[in-house]
Amino acid sequence: MASETPLGLPIIDFSKPDLNQGTKEWDLVRAQVHNALEEYGCFEALFNKVPSDIRKSTIESMEELFDLPLQTKLQNVSKKPYHGYVGQYPMVPLYESMGFDDANVYEQVESLTNTLWPQGNPRFCTTIQSFSEQVSELDQIIRRMILESLGLEKYFEEHVESTNYLLRVMKYKGPETKESKLGINAHTDKNIVTILYQNQVDGLEVQTKACKWIKVKPSSPHSFIAMIGDSLHAWTNGRLHSPYHRVMMSGNEARYSTGLFSIPKAGYIIKAPEEVVDEEHPLLFKPFDHVEFLGFYYTEAGQRAQSALKTYCGVQDLVLSA
């Protein structure tokens, strides 16, 4: 009896030289993106526009960053939940992370870098900014394709201008056992689009709509994992899936990964356009501010909710009395 083929994420190639708007290649890739995000909420993106030396330097820079003393790392602070240093949590002892707001802007990266290295670290600044800027190109290609596939391309400029980029760099210590240990709890992202990159150590798992876990094993060194967050799920009125995902660790090696998050700016109201609301697709979520939603998510009620998004701003079905 043949064994079942392991589940895997769709692989979509963004490295084709003729991938330009209006071409057959663009239309083909756009359809693949739409289908993958409807079904899985994520996919593996082949994207060769981030040079190998920048990818290598990014991993090395993360190793350098996490080797800093804890007191230094704690200086990475933010008023926004999960934007500063996160670590030392008993529930997820293998995990720590740091955030760089506006990571595609050199001066912003330099400001935080000079806090961590008062003597300066120009190589680190250049690496983080260059990596973020180049990955943001992939984010904008994906977002343009999403809006086109839904007939919402007229909103593209507003969509891009209403977001900033956060780069989170993450380290998961090897648990030094062959048994799988929790790296980070199952969760959905709360932003627009997340683009993940990792070193050679796997651990990411994505849950399908049928509640099966896919172990993500990138097929190439220039592979990225693109994933939909709750804010885009709400903005598209549920047309695209926001998947639960987690990290499970085994072995001795540390896993380093980056996540470039397109984040709605404070004060920007996420509201589904009228084009995606109709009788077949009634409105699912009330308009909301992402930063306020994030604040709710990290309260006890938000953490306890099966879906923080539905609890926070879901439209309840009205029961009409006779």
Instruction: State pLDDT tens for residues 130-165.
Output: 999 999 999 999 999 999 999 999 999 999 999 999
Q: What is the mean pLDDT of the chain?
A: 93
Q: Report all structural domains of the chain as residue ranges with CATH numbers, in order of start.
A: 11-274 (2.60.120.330)
Mean pLDDT across 85-90: 88
Structure confidence by residue, pLDDT tens digits, 8-39: 899 999 998 889 998 999 999 999 999 999 99
3-class DSSP string for 173-193 = CCCCEEEEEEEEEEECCCCCE
Residue 16's pLDDT is 85
How far apart CA 106 and CA 241 sit, in angstroms, is: 33
Strands (E), the chain: 11-13, 42-46, 95-101, 163-172, 177-187, 193-198, 204-207, 213-215, 223-228, 245-251, 255-264, 269-270, 288-289
Q: What is the pTM of this model?
A: 0.94
Which residues have a Cβ under 8 Å from the Cβ of 6 and sit 6 or more positions away?
214, 215
User: Measured at the alpha carbon of residue 119, what is the angle toward residues 118 and 120, in degrees to the nearest 5?
Assistant: 90
